[in-house]
Amino acid sequence: MHVVHTIAALRAALPVPGSCVFVPTMGNLHDGHLALVRQAAAHGLPVVASIFVNRLQFAPHEDFDRYPRTLARDCELLSSAGCSIVFAPDEAEMYPEPQGFKVQPDPAIADILEGHFRPGFFTGVCTVVLKLFGAVQPRIAVFGKKDYQQLMVIRRMTRQFALPIEIEGGETTRAADGLALSSRNGYLSDTERAHAIELAQALATLARQFSEGGTPLATLEARACQALAERGWQPDYLSVRRRTDLGIPADDAPRSGDWVALGAARIGATRLIDNLEFSG
């Protein structure tokens, strides 16, 4: 496995555009990332994984400075999962001058849910992903469904800019108790970790109640938030959306169909997100 730090070295290692499968990450890797790398490797093309903590997608009060940088360990894990090239640029390589050009994603999909609570987040994500796509020039890129809205935003960006890249979603990897693996789980205390599954449980309850019908969705969502708050969480949102476009289902629309329940909530100082695809 090669580890390269510059776009020039990446191009030298991979001179033919459209010849690799790409897994972008911010490092501090866990089994969820490695599952994406194994999924990428199953295509039989070289796998490129990037490791770059992207300042542009962090708000000033968020955890950019304390986000763990664990390059040596990450490289060992990536090598064992079948990665061929690690692209680990520093900030000067990715942003040699102030990034004046930015991607402004469609507000219909990027200013809701995560985008509502983290203004500018998807601008930062799309800008770095477009730049990474330009550097890596992959044929396929794999993004985890754990960041469900991110996957949908990237899909739409790729389609609307006619980028010759297939975007593939990877299933969420979960711990034995069902907690979605996340780099931020490492911030949890033992007590918080024991309670962290409650977010996924709240989403499962919301999905079941929505499918049963009868009660307006807004009422169910408010109850779900309240139930989590009573357990000591600070919920940002728990919501059921159409899987196609993350639109809000109308109250008089049939509840048969393909839905996703998405949620974000803080336990202690740690903000977790999760989602559950389901069919009514």
Q: Which residues bind ligand PAF (CB under 6 A)?
A: 24-26, 54, 57, 125, 128-129, 147, 150
Strands 140-144 and 166-170 come out as parallel
* Shortest Å distance, C-beta 232 to ligand PAF: 27
Distance in angstroms (rounded) separating the CA atoms of residues 195 and 171: 23
Nearer to ligand PAF, 57 or 84 (CB): 57
Q: Which of 168, 110, 178 is nearest to 142 (CA)?
A: 168
User: Distance between CA atoms of 229 and 195, rounded to whole angstroms?
Assistant: 12
For residue 247, the 8-state DSSP code is: P
Contact 124, 54 (CB under 8 A): yes
Least distance between ligand PAF and beta carbon 26 (Å): 4
Q: Judge contact between 269 and 187, C-beta under 8 A.
A: yes
Minimum Å distance from CB 231 to ligand PAF?
27
Q: Tell me how far, at minimum, the Cβ of 135 lies from ligand PAF, in Å.
A: 13
Q: 26 or 75, CB closer to ligand PAF? A: 26
CB of 19 to ligand PAF, least distance (A): 21
Count CA atoms within 13 Å of residue 232 on its CB side: 10
Q: Which is nearer to ligand PAF, 54 or 172 (CB)?
A: 54
- From 2, 33, 43, 195, the catalytic residue: 33
Region for residue 257 given its phi and psi (left: phi exceeds 0; alpha: psi -120 to 50; beta: otherwise):
left
Contact 236/267 with Cβ under 8 angstroms? no
Residue closer to ligand PAF, measured from CB, 116 or 231: 116
φ, ψ (nearest 5 deg) of residue 105: -75, 160
Nearer to ligand PAF, 143 or 210 (CB): 143
CB neighbours of 138 closer than 8 A, spacing ≥ 6? 18, 20, 21, 22, 48, 165
33 is catalytic: yes
Residues 6+ apart with CB under 8 A from 190: none
Catalytic residues: 33
